Amino acid sequence: LKSPVAQRNNLWTQQNLEATGLLEPGGLCRADFRGRRNWCVAEEVELEDASYHDITGWSWDVGDGQVLTGAAPSFSYTTPGVYDVSLTVSNASGFVNVTKARYLRVLEATGQPGPYVEGFEGLGSMVESSVFPECDGEPCATIATGIAAGGDRSVRIPNSEGGPGLTYALTSPRLDISAISNPVLRFKYAFAKRDSTNNDRIIVKLSRDCGKTWLVRRTIMPDEIATVADPVSGTFVPGPG
């Protein structure tokens, strides 16, 4: 930084820092938050502010009439359902806000008795499904018409359109399988690699506490995940079967 090349030695001078505003208090850039997505009725829900910069005020609308304050509020729901969450953050310079639609799913105190089947038939969107999609990025899971192992519907996860390292999840309702002596989970999927470097995998998990902790039951590794032999550079459309 002391080199005169390209005037790098001027970057850190007091005059330049003042001129570029780097010595001024940080302004509001973005409102954001994070937290677990699945909870049980009456369980203490926790969310965490991820906004920046220099936040001094927080106002949360968690979709059921509750309005909360603080950077990391704790609260609970009394009714099962899927809820939007909005956060408004502020400081002396103003405020910014963000709303995440269908961000939290609150599950019943007791699970619905098995067996459970979801074939997505007759559905126009994932909002109508009992399966809850969770996506690190956009776009998320959508209903595909005319593409299915049987029937006319399936779920499409356009993972190749997102960046590397993203996680896409599909979570069932809470189930009570205590009356089933040897429960079995079956599902069909189709997957094509974009190229030989693909590191995608499918992980099947089970939770006994509404998503607080998960047990891995099966992992379909990158070397076995593909259902077609050759990579597909464009949009993958699986055939019937």
Instruction: Indicate whether 137 pLDDT > 60.
Output: no
* Residues whose CB falls within 8 Å of the CB of residue 9, separated by 6 or more in sequence, listed in order: 1, 2, 3
pLDDT digit string (tens) for 149-198? 889 999 999 877 767 788 899 999 999 999 999 999 999 999 999 888 88
Instruction: Please report, for residues 17, 21, 26, 30, 31, the alpha-carbon distance to residue 53 in angstroms, rounded to integers and kept in the order given.
Output: 18, 14, 6, 8, 9
Distance CA 92, CA 27 (A): 9
Question: What amino acid occupies position 11?
Answer: L
* Residues whose CB falls within 8 Å of the CB of residue 229, separated by 6 or more in sequence, listed in order: none
- Say if residues 89 and 55 touch (Cβ distance below 8 Å): yes
**Number of C-beta neighbours around residue 233 at 10 A:** 10
pLDDT digit string (tens) for 21-57? 555 556 788 999 999 999 999 999 999 999 988 899 9
Q: How confident is the model at residue 1 (pLDDT cuts 50, 70, 90)?
A: low
Whole-number pLDDT of residue 160: 76
Q: What is the pTM of this model?
A: 0.81
Distance CA 89, CA 71 (A): 9
pLDDT digit string (tens) for 98-113? 999 999 999 999 999 9
Distance CA 145, CA 123 (A): 9
Distance CA 104, CA 82 (A): 6
Whole-number pLDDT of residue 6: 66
